[in-house]
């Protein structure tokens, strides 16, 4: 078993997954292996239209179960000038879903308002007070990124005379086994692809913003309005990437086209957000993940998510500038609070008694950052992690998992302890009474063991072994046809073995620049970002196995090859065992 300095076990997929000769002949040794490693994202024949995303090949809305009939109902309500209220959520998927629908309805001259619940005063999902308020000024309630399991709230909305539509991608609860979806009761229409066994499985990968896009595609046709759907895909790309849904064919099409729209810089809100983030290159999915998405999320984490919605729906340059500046400030504040809570959480792990899970809790930790902190703990300690903040006898919890543990299933086994609960395999949230936390810790530790795959749970999957010397610019560009990268479609990772560490430096706190020499005396410069404390384990003369990703960068029109390190394993310490390091030679 190979374990890197990161602590993750290495699994070389090329040693396990064997592509067919047909695939290797059609796409070559490297791209053929990459495709096979991601085979669940493509069709059985690895058709080129599934590999190279194109809007013309997007799955048709007619294949989406019940979408057409539900859209027909909504179309009739729009034609009758009924008042629409979009009920969103305070994370990026909820924010972008709300923004896109508001933009669409306003473009069609439909009456539309929106409501985003407060993370701090109302919490996740539908709540009865908000529904009562909405019923006083709305006729149609469209719920995005929540609502699938809000049975009581949906019934109340119906009783108050609201016509209800739910656009959601979260897992349906066990209660749905007794009810035939998508209709809970007459007048409540739920569009959630996870209800249906017979739907194209790619639809199940959509975020709520993707489901909302499919709805407006049908509404455009039924209403006969002159609206360009492509113009909405910048917002779809933001929500899809930030919500970490699988980057399968359907989402790669939406995100690729959306990135093209973002880079046209037509939407003033996104343009200003990019400027304040200091990005002066063509925007990629990684830029959404690391720079744009966190700024959109910061509004809902620390303040009011409506600020992000306003940014994405405004056409006013001055207003967009002010809102983008405010989100920039909130994001910096969020980073500071996250660091503080992470430090406090790690101190609680001294003499920690549980082996399968990390659960830490404290009074009045900021609820807007506990999910981020849980993710940091899960990544660092390679265990599913839950962070709870307590106040007035109740606690809000956020869970993040590792690759081989379905956290939603594990938490479901403790759901009798929760007052609210929702999520998916990699992340979940819940509320619980503070006096139930100790029982929760014990039960979750057992349930994790029951649902998890065999340890180790934290693994780093490497596509195949390829030496650094293999690459030229053209070969690197060929593998980047798999863009956009994201969840379930990570940037390709390769393994290079038996490299001598000739020299290294640390120009920044989070960056190591390594000079490596291979057995053919070729020298390579490699960069390792976010390398942390591992620099203390490195010494010139060591022999290393390196997990890396190649890239072609461009500066002032000049292209060059870059190697980005993902992990390192020290294999030999002696300087004189490598043939070309022998002083006699």
pLDDT, residue 175, reads 80
Q: Indicate whether 338 belongs to any domain.
A: no
- Residue 438 above 50 pLDDT? yes
Q: Supply the pLDDT for residue 293.
A: 96
Contact 168, 211 (CB under 8 A): yes
Percent of the chain with pLDDT over 70: 96
Q: What is the CATH number of the domain that holds 416?
A: 3.10.310.30
Last residue of one domain, picked from the residues 427, 451, 475: 451
Q: In the block, which residue shows the tokens 């093209």? A: 260
| CATH code of residue 476 | 2.40.50.460
Same domain, 113 and 132: yes
Q: Are residues 221 and 299 in the same domain?
A: yes
Question: Higher model confidence: residue 187 or residue 583?
Answer: 187
Mean pLDDT of the chain: 92
Higher pLDDT, 39 or 577: 39
Residue 528 is predicted with a pLDDT of 95
CA nearest to 46, candidates 54, 34, 60: 34
pLDDT in tens, 171-219: 888 788 777 666 667 889 999 999 888 888 889 999 999 999 999 999 9
Encode pLDDT of 387-405 as tens digits.
Answer: 999 999 999 999 999 888 9
| pLDDT band at 583; cut points 50, 70, 90 | very low
Pairwise CA distance, residues 532 & 510, whole Å: 6
Residue 183 lies in a domain: yes
pLDDT at 183: 61
Residue 268 in contact with residue 222, Cβ under 8 Å? no
Range of the domain at 464: 9-52+459-581
What six digits make up the tokens of 278? 């200091």
Reply yes or no on whether the pLDDT at 578 is more than 80: no
> Do 379 and 500 belong to one domain?
no
Asked if pLDDT for residue 558 goes beyond 50, the answer is yes
Interhelix angle 317-347/306-313, nearest 10 degrees: 150
Q: What pLDDT does 180 receive?
A: 66
Question: Could you read off the pLDDT of 72-111 as tens digits, one per residue?
Answer: 999 999 999 999 999 999 999 999 999 999 999 999 999 9
Domain termination residue (choose one: 280, 308, 332):
332
Which backbone phi and psi does 231 adopt, to 5 degrees? -65, -15
- Strands of 369-426 (E only): list them: 385-391, 394-400, 418-423
Positive/negative CA dihedral, 467, 469, 475, 477: positive
Residues 305 and 401 grouped into a single domain: no
CATH at 130: 3.90.1640.30
Q: Say which residue, 133 or 47, is predicted with more confidence.
A: 133
Q: Would you say residue 579 has pLDDT above 90?
A: no
Same domain assignment for residues 94 and 209: yes
* CA distances to 187, 360, 438, 439 from 349, in Å: 50, 8, 15, 18
Question: Are residues 85 and 37 both part of a single domain?
Answer: no
Q: Would you place residue 277 in the very low, low, confident or very high pLDDT band (cuts 50, 70, 90)?
A: very high
DSSP per-residue codes, 17-71: ----HHHHHHH-HHHHHHHHHTGGGS-TT--HHHHS--GGGSPPGGGSTTHHHHH
**Domain co-membership, 426 together with 467:** no
Integer CA distances (angstroms), 392 to 205, 395, 396, 432, in order: 38, 8, 11, 12
Q: Which residues have C-beta within 8 Å of that of residue 353, sequence separation ≥ 6?
A: none
Residues 540 and 565 occupy one common structural domain: yes
Positive or negative: CA dihedral 447, 486, 467, 582:
negative
Is there a single domain that holds both residue 501 and residue 527?
yes
Residue 475 and residue 395 share a domain: no
Banded model confidence at residue 294, pLDDT cuts 50, 70, 90 = very high
Asked if the structure places residue 3 within a domain, the reply is: no
Tokens encoding 26: 């059609």
Q: Please report whether residue 1 resides in a domain.
A: no
For the segment 338-344, the average pLDDT, to the nearest whole number, is 97
Q: How many structural domains are present in the chain?
A: 3
445 occurs within a structural domain: yes
- Identify whether residues 19 and 83 lie together within a single domain: no
Q: How confident is the model at residue 584, as a pLDDT?
A: 32
Model pLDDT, residue 101: 98
Sign of CA dihedral 279, 324, 169, 49: negative
Query: Under the phi-then-psi rule, with left for phi > 0, alpha for psi from -120 to 50, and beta for the rest, what region is 147?
Result: left
505 confidence band (pLDDT: 50, 70, 90): very high
Q: Is residue 341 part of a domain?
A: no
CB atoms within 10 A of CB 219: 22
For residue 123, pLDDT over 70 is answered with yes
- Asked if residue 300 is part of any domain, the answer here is yes
Note the pLDDT of residue 444. Answer: 96
pLDDT digits (tens, 9 = 90+) for 360-389: 999 999 999 999 999 999 999 999 999 999
Tell me if 489 sits within 8 A of 246, measured CB to CB.
yes
Q: What is the pLDDT of residues 206-254, one digit of tens each?
A: 999 999 999 999 999 999 999 999 999 999 999 999 998 999 899 999 9
The helix (run of H) or strand (run of E) holding residue 242 is helix 233-242
Same domain, 257 and 402: no
Q: Which residues contact 461 (CB under 8 A, 6 or more apart)?
A: 11, 13, 37, 403, 490, 493
Q: What is the pLDDT of residue 456?
A: 72
């Amino acid at each position: 078993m190979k374990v890197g300095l990161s602590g993750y076990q290495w699994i070389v997929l090329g040693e396990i997954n064997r592509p067919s000769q047909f695939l290797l002949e059609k796409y070559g040794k490297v791209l053929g292996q990459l495709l096979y490693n991601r085979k669940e994202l493509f069709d059985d024949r690895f058709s080129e239209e599934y590999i190279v995303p194109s809007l013309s090949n997007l799955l048709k809305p007619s294949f989406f179960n019940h979408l057409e009939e539900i859209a027909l109902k909504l179309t009739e309500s729009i034609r009758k000038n009924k008042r629409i209220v979009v009920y969103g959520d305070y994370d990026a998927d909820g924010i972008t879903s709300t923004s896109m629908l508001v933009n669409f309805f306003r473009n069609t001259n439909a009456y539309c308002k929106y409501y985003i619940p407060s993370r701090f005063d109302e919490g996740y999902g539908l709540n009865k007070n908000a529904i009562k308020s909405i019923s006083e000024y709305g006729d149609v309630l469209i719920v995005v990124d929540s609502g699938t399991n809000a049975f009581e709230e949906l019934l109340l909305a119906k009783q108050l005379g609201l016509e209800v539509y739910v656009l959601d991608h979260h897992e349906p609860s066990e209660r749905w086994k007794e009810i035939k979806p998508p209709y809970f009761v007459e007048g409540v229409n739920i569009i959630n692809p996870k209800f249906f066994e017979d739907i194209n499985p790619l639809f199940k990968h959509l975020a709520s913003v993707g489901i909302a896009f499919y709805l407006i595609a049908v509404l455009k046709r039924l209403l006969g309005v002159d609206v360009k759907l492509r113009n909405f895909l910048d917002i779809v790309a933001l929500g899809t990437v930030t919500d970490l849904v699988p980057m399968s064919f359907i989402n790669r099409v939406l995100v690729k086209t959306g990135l093209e729209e973002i880079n046209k810089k037509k939407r003033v809100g996104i343009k200003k957000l990019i400027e304040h983030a200091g990005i002066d290159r063509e925007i990629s999915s990684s830029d959404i993940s690391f720079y744009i998405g966190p700024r959109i999320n910061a509004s809902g984490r620390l303040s009011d998510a409506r600020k992000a919605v306003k940014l994405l729906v405004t056409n006013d340059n001055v207003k967009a500038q002010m809102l983008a500046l405010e989100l920039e400030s909130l994001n910096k504040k969020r980073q500071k609070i996250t660091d503080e809570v992470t430090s406090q959480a790690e101190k609680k792990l001294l003499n920690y008694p549980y082996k399968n899970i990390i659960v830490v809790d404290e009074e009045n930790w900021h609820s807007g950052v506990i999910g981020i902190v849980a993710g940091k703990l899960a990544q660092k300690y390679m265990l599913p992690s839950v962070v709870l903040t307590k106040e007035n006898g109740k606690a809000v919890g956020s869970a993040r998992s590792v690759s081989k543990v379905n956290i939603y299933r594990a938490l479901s086994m403790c759901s009798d302890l929760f007052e609210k609960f929702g999520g998916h395999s990699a992340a979940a949230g819940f509320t619980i009474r503070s006096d139930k936390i100790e029982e929760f810790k014990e039960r979750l530790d057992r349930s994790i063991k029951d649902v998890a795959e065999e340890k180790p749970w934290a693994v780093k999957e490497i596509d195949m072994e390829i030496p650094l010397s293999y690459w030229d610019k053209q070969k690197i560009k060929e593998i980047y046809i798999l863009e956009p990268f994201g969840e379930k479609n990570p940037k390709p990772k390769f393994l290079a073995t038996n490299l001598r560490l000739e020299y290294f430096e640390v120009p920044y706190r989070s960056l190591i620049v390594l000079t490596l020499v291979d057995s053919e005396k070729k020298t390579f410069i490699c960069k390792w970002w976010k390398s942390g404390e591992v620099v203390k384990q490195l010494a010139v003369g060591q022999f290393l196995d390196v997990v890396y990703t190649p890239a072609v960068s461009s500066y002032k029109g000049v292209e060059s090859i870059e190697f980005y390190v993902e992990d390192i394993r020290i294999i030999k310490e002696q300087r004189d065992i490598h043939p070309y390091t022998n002083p006699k030679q």
